[in-house]
Copies of this chain bind each other. A is one copy, B any other.
Amino acid sequence: MVTIRDVAKRAGVGVGTVSRVLNNSANVSAQTRLQVLAVIDELNFRPNPIAQRLPRQETLTIGVILPFFTFPFFVNILEGIHAEISEAGYDLLVMNVDSPEKSEQYFGKAVFGRRFDGVIVVTLPLSDQYVELFAKNDLPVVLVDSFHPQISAITVNNVVGGALATQHLIDKGHTKIAYIGDNQNDLFGFHTTQLRLHGYQQTLRDNGIAPNPNWIFQGNQGKGSGVQGANYLLSQDPTPTAIFAYSDTVALGVVEVAEERGLRYPNDFALIGFDDIEISQYIGLTTVRQPMQEMGKQGARQLINLLAHPSDVKAIELPLQLVERKSTNFIRG
């Protein structure tokens, strides 16, 4: 194993000089620099990254705590984060929360484990208690798709999203509009379901439509919510003509039930989702697009900025966009 001392000896300089060359520090003469670089090349020397981190008191590692990392929404956010973080030369360590307990566990690990220079938390809420702990340990945090007043956060406005979806259905002539939510995440403390529901109800009222409590269903597990919700709504009398699903995944459950019963959008009913995951374009699902990758990128950028300027806390809200497809386009026969 070639060390910095081998290089120094062979180049006839001190280890400090080699280190300065490696780190592009000032105060190395051009000639010495070239000479050292030649030896580095000759011996094929690469500094040991672990040994570099010890005296620097940095881990050069960023931790990401996120739930369900195989779900398209999270994969896309993660991709954005990953791209920015590795670009900046940091390592990325993913902590995948697949059960509610793990959430606490990873927060603790992040704070006390001395493993990260900074942490990005996706979707999961951060309690005041942990906000304080992170602050006390000088560990910068950024929230993506989650919010806390004292922490840098990248969000979309879910109330507005709910309104966008609902208004679109109203514009298409619907008045009997149902909402299928998803409480799965309540276990983890997400609260986006409530926000979108709020936007939905508000928009109905703004348009002079009284929300019908029988047309609001809260399921508890992604696609399963859609299955349960669709079956529930079909048992109501009257049935709604349009459904706003909490997410595209929930919408998939609705599609499944509809298909079994021989119902097809856009003519038998209208359907709108949320997120715009890849699958949605293939099934012609109208949806509210979240800029997932961009959310990840911006989160990573905020964190990297925070590493240099610890007090530069910012809250950024990214825009949502309605993507209109077949599922809300009633075709007059």
Q: Which residues of A contact B (CB under 8 A)?
A: 44, 46, 48-51, 53-54, 59, 61, 69-70, 75-76, 79, 82-83, 86, 91-96, 112-115, 252, 255-256, 278-279, 282-283
Task: With A96-B82, A256-B282 as known contacts, state yes or no: A59 contacts B50, CB within 8 Å.
Answer: yes
For A49, the chain B residues whose CB sits under 8 A away are 59, 113-115
When chains A and B are docked, how far (Å) is the Cα of A163 from the Cα of B115? 49
Who on chain B is nearest to A256 by CB?
Answer: B282
Q: Is the CB of A44 within 8 A of B112?
A: yes
B54, A51: Cβ atoms closer than 8 Å: yes
State A113–B47 Cα separation when bound (angstroms).
8
CB neighbours (8 Å) of A94 from chain B are 82, 92, 94
Question: Once the chains bind, are B252 and A282 in contact (CB under 8 Å)?
Answer: yes
Tell me whether B53 and A50 are in contact (CB under 8 A).
yes
Give how many copies assemble into the complex: 2
- Point out the residue from B46, B50, B283 that lies within 8 Å of A50, measured CB to CB: B50
CA distance in complex: A255, B282 (Å): 8
Query: Lowest 9 CB-CB distances: which A-B pairs, in order?
Result: A279-B279, A50-B53, A70-B79, A70-B75, A46-B112, A48-B114, A50-B54, A252-B282, A91-B93
Q: State the CA gap A252–B61 with chains docked (Å).
A: 38
B282 to A46, Cβ gap below 8 A? no
- A253 (CB) vs chain B CBs: closest residue: B282
CA distance A282 to B82 in the complex (A): 29
Q: Which residues of B contact A44 (CB under 8 A)?
A: 112
CA distance A88 to B46 in the complex (A): 28
Once the chains bind, are A46 and B113 in contact (CB under 8 Å)?
yes
Given A46-B112, A49-B113, do A76 and B70 touch, yes or no (CB 8 Å)?
yes
Provide the residues of chain B in CB contact with A91, threshold 8 Å: 61, 91, 93
Q: Which residues of B contact A48 (CB under 8 A)?
A: 114
Q: Which chain B residue has the least Cβ–Cβ distance from A50?
A: B53
Query: Chain B's nearest CB lies how many Å from the CB of A27?
Result: 27
Task: Report the bound CA distance from A169 to B34 in whole Å.
Answer: 66
- The answer to whether B59 touches A69, judged by C-beta atoms less than 8 angstroms apart, is no
In the bound complex, what is the Cα–Cα distance between A118 and B54 (angstroms)? Answer: 22
A59 to B51, CA, bound (A): 10
* Nearest chain B CB to A67 CB, angstrom units: 13
Closest to A282 in B: B252
Contact partner of A282 (CB less than 8 A), chosen from B61, B95, B112, B279, is: B279
Chain B nearest CB, measured from A223 CB (Å)? 9
Smallest Cβ-Cβ distance to A326: which chain B residue: B259
Shortest A333–chain B CB gap in Å is 16
Chain B residues near A279: list those with CB within 8 A.
Answer: 278-279, 282
| Bound Cα distance A40, B165 (Å) | 54
Distance in Å from the Cβ of A165 to the closest Cβ of chain B?
21
Q: Which residue of B lies closest to A76 (CB)?
A: B70
- Please name all residues of chain B whose beta carbon is closer than 8 Å to the beta carbon of A61 when the two chains form the complex: 91
